[in-house]
Amino acid sequence: MATVAQPCPSWTSGSVPLSKRLTRRRFSGRINTLTRLTPQAALVQAPPSPSAPRDNSSIQVLTLSRANDLQAEARAMARAANASVYNPQLIASMYGSQPVKVVRRTLQIVVALGSFGLKLLLDQRNGVLVKNRRLRASELKNIFTKLGPTFVKLGQGLSTRPDICPPEYLEELSELQDGLPTFPDEEAFACIERELDLSLDSIFSSISPSPIAAASLGQVYKAQLKYSGRLVAVKVQRPAIEEAIGLDFYLIRGLNVNFDRFLQEGQNARRFKKLYADKEDICVPDVFWDYTSAKVLTMEWVDGVKLNEQEAIERQGLKVLDLVNTGIQCSLRQLLEYGYFHADPHPGNLLATPEGKLAFLDFGMMSETPEEARSAIIGHVVHLVNRDYEAMARDYYALDFLSPDVDVSPIVPALRDFFDDALNYTVSELNFKTLVDGLGNVLYQFPFNVPAYYALILRSLTVLEGLALYADPNFKVLAASYPYFAKRLLTDPNPYLRDALIELLFQDGRFRWGRLENLLVQGRMDRDFSAKEALQPVLKVLLSPDGEELRTLVIKEAVQVTEAFTLSTISDTYKSVPEFMKTLVFNGNANGPIIMSEVETQNMIELRDQVFRIWGLLQSSNDFDPDLLLPILQVLQQPEARRLGERVMGGITQRLAARFLQQVLRVPTSST
């Protein structure tokens, strides 16, 4: 749920004290002995910087802080020990004795969804099913909103399932807002006191008189902690929500849910901060565990502007595209590096802070990308670049889209038809929404089962691209993502990604020097790119026992590159020879001591220059140091490396000898 800093009556000089503003209520004043301890925020430290070593005293302070955090979290878990848990057997016995309530809710659901289904049948009979799809999708969104929290969440879930819903439904349901009215503030404040076993006056010096945000499961207040003066966002669970959702789940049957969501959300925030807040441009609020329970979550207040409020962001001297790009890079780390990601990054959950940081809020909906799928997604991008549609279709096994017994051969033509039409230029120029919509149409035609994690990935990146398009209609999320993919392909030692890199660089038995240069150019745009990490893994693969096929290709390319250096240098030298010397020594031969066509000469020079550019890119890397070549030289001293060098030299000798013989016999060479 988004929390945005707004002016609020309780923060003015004329703010009414809590004790007077809430005269109808009596504070219990009960203070649990456990919560008399100094409350601690869940401060998760970023990994230490090598350039900033810690002394013993700072380590002791950090250790004590973490110990206090764990104790505070344990107290929060103790408060949540009695949180409601949905159990089909127990709830069946409860609602079995309340038939009137069950029948009333059943009729409400059946009438709402039944009338919608009838409209679909009439549309189909009248031949306007596709024409009215957008209208019906909007109606379904409104129905889910009226039916309450359970169906709001159901609609949000369907908005991530392109294998179930057509594109129009995906778009409408993705806009589904938790548009429920707020509940009385008196009930919210009573819930805080009851859950924390403390009076409001003992916790807060002030609190907003009304919620600053509300959703289906709860609402948020802005408050100031009494003990420290820190501003916090206090999320309070909607009363009787267990009964409302429990009845729906009883009717749906077979589902299992617990109601300690706020405690889980706090733990999600702590884990997210530990993984991703090491970057200086990312902000994740702290959790105050001593003021958190199953129904109350207290987190650090973050001042900021919603990411879709472009004018407000620019007034702070910030750029929307910079913030969106930060979000994309962080999302890629979430999705493909650690696998733990924020699954609901809508504009209200992403704030631009005055310091230019991107703040993530609301950690109630999180998901994880399986480790195998992380590499498979990057490989999928490689296959897309190569337009290898058969390999793309096979990727769906690893991505868990298809069961192993499904034949992918009918899928290949559908992928080819869509992508050959979409990829008029390059993958990086492809609009991500176009890609998602087109791929969704393909998935809709075949027996795909899109895993929840993948659907949420598509949703996350689509939201970020949508935010960027407000500022720049030509923005392409795939282009912004390419530096990350390039860095991972060049530096990740994962065997799957090593194979993907080789597959990308070698095609039809030839090395694609242009692609390597492009990868280095793009990879250097990622601030975490390391030239050292890019060089060593490739050499290890090349010299491994299983690398014979690759070595054969590399030998061929090494011979061509060395020949290009040798002959292009000879050609350049010959051009500087005076004309009378050319006539005297070479009988005026335009090519001098070698015979090459003009095209071949130009290709040789271009190859040489390209290799020089690639080496220059490596040298210009921020972490490039001649010392990084030492471990590479150690690798090159291995027996396999020496044998590889001998094979390269043998190939060069044969090529140059052949050219010399052609020169003697005056036989023109063919372009290679």
Look at residues 516, 503, 519, 601 and name the one whose alpha carbon lies nearest to residue 553.
503
Could you tell me how many residues make up the chain? 672
Look at residues 546, 537, 454 and name the one whose alpha carbon lies nearest to residue 501.
537
- Cα–Cα dist 415/439, whole Å: 8
φ and ψ at residue 182, rounded to 5 degrees: -70, 160
499 is annotated as an active-site residue: no
Q: Under a CB-based contact definition with an 8 Å cutoff, are residues 557 and 647 in contact?
A: no
- Cα–Cα dist 410/412, whole Å: 6
Q: Under a CB-based contact definition with an 8 Å cutoff, are residues 639 and 545 in contact?
A: no
Q: Which long-range contacts (CB under 8 A, 24 or more apart) does 493-501 make?
A: 493/537, 493/540, 494/375, 496/375, 496/376, 496/379, 497/375, 497/378, 497/379, 498/537, 498/538, 498/541, 499/379, 500/375, 500/378, 500/379, 500/382, 501/382, 501/538
- Tokens found for residue 293: 């329970």
- Cα–Cα dist 382/501, whole Å: 8
Neighbours of 636 (CB within 10 A): 15
Q: How many CA atoms lie within 13 A of 313 on its CB side?
A: 25
- Cα–Cα dist 474/355, whole Å: 27
- Cα–Cα dist 121/204, whole Å: 56
- Cα–Cα dist 482/491, whole Å: 14
- Cα–Cα dist 251/84, whole Å: 18
Using DSSP's 3-state secondary structure scheme, residue 306 falls into: strand
342 has which bridge partners?
A: 366
- Tokens found for residue 608: 């040489």
Q: CA-CA distances (angstroms) from residue 41 to 38, 64, 66, 71?
A: 10, 13, 10, 11
- Tokens found for residue 193: 């006191």
Q: Which of 69, 260, 290, 344 is catalytic?
A: 344
Using DSSP's 3-state secondary structure scheme, residue 246 falls into: helix
What DSSP string describes 430-495?
Answer: S-HHHHHHHHHHHHHHTT----HHHHHHHHHHHHHHHHHHHH-TT--HHHHHHHHHHHHHHH---H
Alpha carbon of residue 208 to chain centroid: 35
341 has which bridge partners?
A: 367
- Terminal Cα distance for the chain, rounded: 62
- Cα–Cα dist 28/198, whole Å: 7
Could you list the beta-strand ranges (E) of 13-109: none
Q: Under a CB-based contact definition with an 8 Å cutoff, are residues 645 and 611 in contact?
A: no
Positions marked catalytic:
344
